[in-house]
Amino acid sequence: MKNSGRAGRAKKRKSIILSVLLGMLTFVCCYPIIFLLAGSFMGTGELSENLGSMFQGNGGYASWTLLPFEPTLRSWAEVVLDTPGFFVMFWNSMKITGGILLGQAVFGIPAAWGFARYRFRRALFFLYIVMMMMPFQVMMLSDYLIIKEMHLMDTLWAVILPGIFSTLPVFIISQYFKEIPEEILEAARIDGAGETGIFLRIGLPLGKAGIISAMVLQFLECFNMLEQPMTFLKKQSLWPLSMFQPQITAETAGAAFAASVFTLLPAIWVFAAGYEFLESGIQAYYGSNV
C-alpha cells in the first residue's frame, strides 16, 4: 500500500514535470503572437529604445520586454487611419479568400458528394490526389499559360479561379460524406426523394463538419498564399496581405508591428472559431486513406 502510494506520487510528479516541459514548448510556439501584440502597443519611443540598435548601427543589440511599459494605441491608429495602402492589401486578401471559398462551396462540395457516394473510376480520384500534392513550381507554367490564354493576367481572377478548383477541399469533404451510412440514403430513395434532394437535405447537413473544417483549412491556406499572387499579380494595387513585407526602420517599426497584428487577426479568429472542426478536419485530410 505504502509502496504503491510512493509510486503513485512519483508518477504524478513525472506527469507534472512533463506538463511543465510541454507547456514551455507551447509557450514558445505561441510566443510570436505575444511578441507582435506587445510590439504593436509600444510607442515609437519605446520601440526605438528596444530595437534601435538594429537600424542605427551603433553597435549593441536589440532588446525586448515581454509587455510594453507605456501601452499606446498610436501604432494601431497609424495603420487604420494613415495607411490606405494597407487597407487595399487587406481587402485584396479578403476578396481572394472569399472568392475562392465561395467558388469551392459551389463547385467543390457537389464534386465531393459525387466522388463519395457514386461509383467512379479510381483513376479519376487519383488525378485529384496527384493535383492536390503538386507544389506550385510544378504547376506554375501550366497555370500561367491558361491564365494568359484567358487574358486574366494582373486581375484577382488569376489567383481566384485556379484556387476555386483546387482539389484539396474536394478530397477532405468527400472523406466525411463517405461516412454517412448508405441505409439512410436508400430509405430516402424509397420514400421517393430525388438524388439532388438527397444531397441537399441529407448530405449537406450530415457533412456539415467536413465542409466547415475544409473551409477553415482553406481559409488559412488562401490567406497565406504567396507564390500565386507574386507570379500573376504585377500591379501593386492588387497585392494581398500575404505579400506584405514589413520594414523595421526607426519611423515605421510601430506601424509594421500593428500591420502584422492586423494580418494575424483574421487568421487567428477563424482558427479559434473553427478550432473544433479544424482538429477533425486535419484528421480527415491527413489521416485518411490516400
Partner 1 sequence: MIRKKERWGLMFVLPGLTGVLVFYAIPCGDVIRRAFTQSLTGHFAGLMNFKQVLDNAAFRLAAGNTARMMCVCVPVLVALSLILAVPLQRGIRGGRWIKSGLLVPMAVPVASVVLLWQCMFSKQGFLNGALSLFGTAETDWMNTRYAFAILVFSYVWKNLGYSVILWIAALEGIPGEIYEAARVDGAGELLIFFRITIPNLFSAFFTITVLSLINSFKVFREAYLVAGDYPDESIYMLQHLFNNWYRNMDTDKMAAGGVLSGAMLFVLICLFYTARQINLPHSELEGNIADEEFRKSRKG
**How far is residue 152 from each of residues 1, 158, 160, 161, 225, measured CA to CA in Å?**
77, 5, 10, 10, 18
> Does residue 243 bind partner 1 (CB under 8 A)?
yes
* Cα 224 from Cα 241, distance rounded (Å): 8
Taking phi over 0 as left and psi of -120 to 50 as alpha, with beta for the rest, 154 belongs to left
Question: Residue 2 or 119: which CB sits closer to partner 1?
Answer: 119
Question: Residue 1 or 66: which CB sits closer to partner 1?
Answer: 66
Among 159, 161, 180, 212, indicate the residue that binds partner 1 (CB under 8 A).
161
> Does residue 207 bind partner 1 (CB under 8 A)?
no
Among 236, 237, 249, 283, indicate the residue that binds partner 1 (CB under 8 A).
283
Among 67, 69, 73, 142, indicate the residue that binds partner 1 (CB under 8 A).
142
What the block records as the C-alpha cell of 87 is 487597407
What the block records as the C-alpha cell of 80 is 487604420
Among 138, 184, 201, 251, indicate the residue that binds partner 1 (CB under 8 A).
138
- Closest approach, Cβ 46 to partner 1, in A, equals 14
CB atoms under 10 Å from CB of 13, counted, come to: 10
What the block records as the C-alpha cell of 264 is 494575424
- Closest approach, Cβ 200 to partner 1, in A, equals 11
> Does residue 77 bind partner 1 (CB under 8 A)?
no
> Does residue 184 bind partner 1 (CB under 8 A)?
no
> Does residue 113 bind partner 1 (CB under 8 A)?
yes
> Does residue 155 bind partner 1 (CB under 8 A)?
no
> Does residue 215 bind partner 1 (CB under 8 A)?
no
> Does residue 279 bind partner 1 (CB under 8 A)?
yes
* Cα 214 from Cα 274, distance rounded (Å): 10
Residues 220-239 that bind partner 1 (CB under 8 A): 220, 223-224, 226-227, 230-231
Question: Residue 45 or 287: which CB sits closer to partner 1?
Answer: 287
Stretch that binds partner 1, among 2-10, 69-77, 78-86, 256-264 (CB under 8 A): 256-264
> Does residue 110 bind partner 1 (CB under 8 A)?
yes
> Does residue 152 bind partner 1 (CB under 8 A)?
no
> Does residue 250 bind partner 1 (CB under 8 A)?
no
**Residue closest to 222 by CA, chosen among 133, 130, 109, 95:** 95
Residues 42-61 that bind partner 1 (CB under 8 A): 51, 53-54, 57, 59-61
